[in-house]
Amino acid sequence: MLSATGLALTLALLGSAPKAAPPKAPKVELVDATTVIPDLVLDLRYATKDNFLKRQVYPDGARCLLLPDSVKRLKQAAEVLRPQGYRLKVYDCYRPRAVQYEMWKILPKPGYVADPRKGSNHNRGGAVDLTLVTKDGAEVEMPTPFDDFTPAAHHGYTGGTPASREHREVLRKAMEGAGFQRNRMEWWHYDLPGATKLPVLDVPFTPNG
């Protein structure tokens, strides 16, 4: 048994021992999807006023940034679609958390905008909003426009034209075949599996920040 003096000395030594540094968060690298998919069409709606917020919340020069795994899967989908006469057009990719807070100020309604305290899969680089275009870049009919928050945007919607439903299914098969998971309420939204477990990011859109 330690004496009082020995116990005091032991405690003093323990108190003076250097504390282990907290583990550093892993550095996450985002990839510009156009560097991997050259024929990817960009229509980043939040870099314009043509969105449901009616405001530009992304800076000029915003890019389609995604996690490497997201880009790899997106490339697979694009390669499946090309022989069918289609290209991919993206509406939204990675979204900085700071922008998520700005969107929340404008429309703080879960279901329309994710609560920035929890973060969106877009904030993680693990979600992409997209549609199909022809090889020449012409619009392809879908059941609704982008960011249409009505039942017509659901994957189970049986209305609209046969062509719009067929295009929705072509996109779904390509994206799910590449390993993405559909958002059942938004035909344009696809998630990387397990994205909700990934860190929320606040990386700038442009190389110089």
167 is in an annotated binding site: no
Distance of CA 169 to the CA centre of its chain: 21
Residue range 82-111: mean pLDDT, rounded? 91
**Catalytic residue status for 186:** yes
Q: Please report the domains of the chain, with CATH numbers, ordered by start residue.
A: 26-197 (3.30.1380.10)
**Residues ≥6 apart with Cβ < 8 Å to 92:** 44, 45, 46, 122, 127, 128, 129
pLDDT in tens, 168-207: 999 999 999 999 999 999 999 999 999 999 999 888 887 6
pLDDT score, position 206: 73
> If you search the block for the tokens 């900085």, which residue do you land on?
96
pLDDT score, position 202: 81
pLDDT score, position 29: 84
pLDDT above 70 as % of the chain: 85
pLDDT in tens, 44-77: 999 999 998 899 989 998 999 999 999 999 999 9
pLDDT above 90 as % of the chain: 68
pLDDT score, position 23: 43
What average pLDDT does the chain have?
87
| pLDDT band at 113; cut points 50, 70, 90 | confident
pLDDT score, position 9: 46
Active site residue: 102, 166, 176, 186, which one? 186
189 is in an annotated binding site: yes
Annotate 7-25 with DSSP letters as a single string. HHHHHHHHHHSPPPPPPPP
